[in-house]
Chain A
């Protein structure tokens, strides 16, 4: 009885706070007018047509995807190298220091980080503020912990020192070992890290709004502006972002099933 009540109230909360707003936005994106009523009036695809005709939105989506993909890719490389180094050097203090350093960006609010970046990279002769590269850097730092966590857990399960000794005694070079053994075995960690970092970068607003300029605006930034245009338009723009998130999530999970479960034997 008690358990069922808990499940029920949990379900209601989830519906009220997660599903219902998303559903309303989806409905709103097809409505002609939405003012003062629970649900919008009429049915139209106008907002979507508007969205795709405005280069600003299309470009911003492209920018977001570019930054998110690069963030995942670079963080994956940095992540693999870092967990390898920490595991191979095997020093306790190094691991502690490492864990502390990767926690720092979580402890510092993005607004603070954004302010720091704007201050730090804005020199009169040469300013990085307003470029997408600076945003990329910010996202790299911001999302790295979420790539490192699953990778480190993955690496801890591997027992790498012994695998490396076994491989070396069999004649494998470090490169051979890295490509044939290390990376394939880190696929599960890489995938969950990739899902996290991609989603975080794609939806990140605070850093983007402070660091980017008109040419490098990402989707969440223009989305925020969309609410000043019209409700239906904003709803359509939001739906598109959600759609992209879900699609890319699905793609990553699909890739994980393709490589991860077969090679490393762990479901993602």
Chain B
């Protein structure tokens, strides 16, 4: 049974489509991320699920029931907002209790429930604090507990971590994941941060210009992007524009490179080579079954565990990530030969 289902949903603002014919289903208890650049329609999709917006076409289902004509108040969805949206005039306890109060929950049920939620997010000792006395991370925990208090059919998180600094963001990311797993609640998580989406989700839906470009597990999306947009979005990629000749052959400029054999029609497309899959070939080694690209080191960035090189190959900049354990990194302006094996060059549609 699906927790959330969108059936050919479209939403227009004026004449422009914010969401165009989107179909998506999220299993019960599944954690799905909607990710994409700003303006791609991910927040609109979330608001369609929440009920703040009604679709122009198509239909939204929660737990198998159509939500047509069902308002936000009746939908029983828990929402966590980017800027926390805690009620400043209520204590932490009362913020979490708010949803139960609207349902006239008796005190002897409400109190233990709120206390349990507060200890789940690690704030049981701040129950009587005011929201303004808490740090951003703590406020967002309260918001999470508040959303969960109404035992929602689905938990919707709209960029919940983007107002926080990097350190808090990382720890809270895992905490959200832990709480979601423990409570087994269907979750849709909106973010523009691909790393966040890939690290937290069971499944990722990547959106662009109101459509879903690809849905899949983080591993799938990362290793087998459906097209050049996805490839570009989910990591630093070298995308070489060229032509697929079929049968694992790719023409880039004057060269024929041997690449992964993919079921793609012959014709213009892009070749994706991950920076960490490129190595430096020794000066005189034979190419073997690998591809050799001669170039000149045009830049070096130290990234902690990695050293990122920018290498100029026939005017095209190719990024290469080397582990910093390499004994002798090449110097700037040094002429080197890059090598990648056919399995690491993946043609993707679009250019």
Residue among A159, A162, A170, A265 making CB contact with B132, cutoff 8 Å: A265
Question: What residues of chain B lie closer than 8 Å to A264, measured between beta carbons?
Answer: 88-89
Q: How many A residues, CB 8 Å from partner?
A: 21
Q: Can you name the residue of chain B whose Cβ is closest to the Cβ of A171?
A: B102
Q: How large is the interface on B (under 10, 10 to 19, 20 to 34, 35 or more residues)?
A: 20 to 34
A201 at the B interface (CB under 8 A): no
Distance of A221 Cα from B79 Cα, bound (Å): 58
Distance of A264 Cα from B147 Cα, bound (Å): 22
Question: What residues of chain A lie closer than 8 Å to B283, measured between beta carbons?
Answer: none
Q: Are B87 and A165 touching (Cβ within 8 A)? A: no
Question: What residues of chain B lie closer than 8 Å to A162, measured between beta carbons?
Answer: 81, 83, 85
Question: What residues of chain B lie closer than 8 Å to A171, measured between beta carbons?
Answer: 73, 76, 99, 102-103, 150
| Interfacial residues of chain A within 158-175, with CB under 8 A of chain B in the complex | 158-159, 162-163, 165-173
Distance of A169 Cα from B88 Cα, bound (Å): 17
A176 at the B interface (CB under 8 A): yes
Binary CB contact string for chain B from 149 to 184 against chain A (1 if under 8 A, 0 otherwise): 110000000000000000000000000000000000
Distance of A87 Cα from B52 Cα, bound (Å): 17
B130 at the A interface (CB under 8 A): yes
A137 at the B interface (CB under 8 A): no
A57: min CB distance to chain B, Å: 42
A212 at the B interface (CB under 8 A): no
A10 at the B interface (CB under 8 A): no
B337 at the A interface (CB under 8 A): no
Question: What residues of chain B lie closer than 8 Å to A185, measured between beta carbons?
Answer: 87-89
Distance of A208 Cα from B72 Cα, bound (Å): 50
Evaluate whether A169 and B50 lie within 8 angstroms (CB atoms) in the complex, with A176-B102, A265-B130 already known.
yes
Residue among B52, B88, B98 making CB contact with A265, cutoff 8 Å: B88
Q: Can you name the residue of chain B whose Cβ is closest to the Cβ of A187?
A: B89
Binary CB contact string for chain A from 147 to 158 against chain B (1 if under 8 A, 0 otherwise): 000000000001
B93: min CB distance to chain A, Å: 14
Binary CB contact string for chain B from 60 to 102 against chain A (1 if under 8 A, 0 otherwise): 0000000000001101111101010101111000000011011
B131: min CB distance to chain A, Å: 9
Q: Are B79 and A165 touching (Cβ within 8 A)? A: yes
Q: Are A167 and B132 touching (Cβ within 8 A)? A: no
Question: What residues of chain A lie closer than 8 Å to B143, measured between beta carbons?
Answer: 166
Q: Can you name the residue of chain A whose Cβ is closest to the Cβ of B71?
A: A168
A184 at the B interface (CB under 8 A): yes
Evaluate whether A165 and B102 lie within 8 angstroms (CB atoms) in the complex, with A171-B150, A173-B73 already known.
no
Binary CB contact string for chain A from 98 to 139 against chain B (1 if under 8 A, 0 otherwise): 000000000000000000000000000000000000000000
Residue among A165, A180, A263, A265 making CB contact with B85, cutoff 8 Å: A165
A182: min CB distance to chain B, Å: 9
Question: What residues of chain A lie closer than 8 Å to B101, measured between beta carbons?
Answer: 180
Q: Are A181 and B79 touching (Cβ within 8 A)? A: no
Q: Are B73 and A168 touching (Cβ within 8 A)? A: yes
Distance of A147 Cα from B290 Cα, bound (Å): 77
| Interfacial residues of chain B within 271-303, with CB under 8 A of chain A in the complex | none
Residue among B81, B98, B132 making CB contact with A172, cutoff 8 Å: B98
Distance of A150 Cα from B332 Cα, bound (Å): 62
Q: Are A170 and B99 touching (Cβ within 8 A)? A: yes
Distance of A123 Cα from B217 Cα, bound (Å): 79
Distance of A176 Cα from B100 Cα, bound (Å): 13
Q: Are A169 and B89 touching (Cβ within 8 A)? A: no
Question: What residues of chain A lie closer than 8 Å to B147, measured between beta carbons?
Answer: 169-170
B146 at the A interface (CB under 8 A): yes
Q: Are B102 and A159 touching (Cβ within 8 A)? A: no
Question: What residues of chain A lie closer than 8 Å to B150, measured between beta carbons?
Answer: 170-171
B316: min CB distance to chain A, Å: 46
Distance of A211 Cα from B146 Cα, bound (Å): 55
Evaluate whether A165 and B88 lie within 8 angstroms (CB atoms) in the complex, with A171-B102, A172-B73, A176-B102 already known.
no
Which has the most chain A C-beta neighbours within 10 Å: B75, B77, B88? B88
| Interfacial residues of chain A within 77-102, with CB under 8 A of chain B in the complex | none
A242: min CB distance to chain B, Å: 35
Q: Can you name the residue of chain B whose Cβ is closest to the Cβ of A158?
A: B88
Residue among B52, B98, B130 making CB contact with A170, cutoff 8 Å: B98
Q: Are B89 and A263 touching (Cβ within 8 A)? A: yes
Evaluate whether A166 and B79 lie within 8 angstroms (CB atoms) in the complex, with A181-B87, A185-B89 already known.
yes
Question: What residues of chain B lie closer than 8 Å to A263, measured between beta carbons?
Answer: 89
Question: What residues of chain A lie closer than 8 Å to B79, measured between beta carbons?
Answer: 165-166, 169
Question: What residues of chain A lie closer than 8 Å to B73, measured between beta carbons?
Answer: 168-169, 171-173
Question: What residues of chain A lie closer than 8 Å to B103, measured between beta carbons?
Answer: 171
Q: Can you name the residue of chain B whose Cβ is closest to the Cβ of A162?
A: B85
Question: What residues of chain B lie closer than 8 Å to A170, measured between beta carbons?
Answer: 98-99, 102, 146-147, 149-150
Residue ranges of B at the interface with A (Cβ–Cβ < 8 Å): 50, 52, 72-73, 75-79, 81, 83, 85, 87-90, 98-99, 101-103, 130, 132, 143, 146-147, 149-150
14 A-B pairs whose Cβ atoms sit less than 8 Å apart in the complex:
A162-B85, A163-B85, A165-B72, A166-B85, A169-B72, A169-B73, A169-B77, A169-B78, A170-B102, A170-B147, A172-B98, A264-B89, A265-B89, A265-B130
The 9 closest A-B pairs by CB, nearest first: A170-B99, A171-B102, A184-B89, A166-B85, A162-B85, A263-B89, A172-B102, A169-B79, A168-B72
